[in-house]
Amino acid sequence: MIKIDKRYIILFIFYLIIITIFKYIKNTFYRFLLTTLLALLLLYVFKIYKKKILIYLLLTFFAILTEIIFIKYFNKTWYYYKKEFFVIPYWLIPLWFCAIVFIIEIYKILTKS
């Protein structure tokens, strides 16, 4: 029988929750609130503590900054219809944080095997 690391299942469940949030919830404030709660839950589930949180937040900041630069200064890039924070919606901040947690956790799983 194939043994699947439980972290894969947890990440997949979180991924499905994010997809569900953005499929069925159109209000940007509720999207922001729910993705922020999900990001906090990810911190708890994967036991990400103070020093590492700063690194995750720094990576999130650079991801958001890069997206702002691309949207604002490059032609024919993506576009957000509702811009609340510079040229991006504010729900993108916790969403980037979740994405970074996903990437790092998948990396940890793959390098441990």
On the question of pLDDT at 78 being above 90, the answer is no
pLDDT of residue 96: 95
Ordered by start, the domain boundaries in the chain are 6-112
Bridge partner residues of 85 (DSSP)? 88
Q: Which of 12-26, 58-72, 75-89 has the lowest mean pLDDT?
A: 75-89
Is the dihedral angle over the CA atoms 12, 18, 19, 24 positive or is it negative? positive
Q: Which residue has the higher pLDDT, 87 or 94?
A: 94
Return the structure tokens found at 64: 């958001």
Q: Please give the model's pTM, rounded to 2 decimal places.
A: 0.87
Nearest to 88 by CA among 96, 97, 79: 79
Bridge partner residues of 88 (DSSP)? 85
User: What residues contact residue 68 under an 8 Å CB cut-off, 6+ apart?
Assistant: 86, 87, 88
Q: CB–CB of 11/102 below 8 Å?
A: yes
Residues in the chain: 113
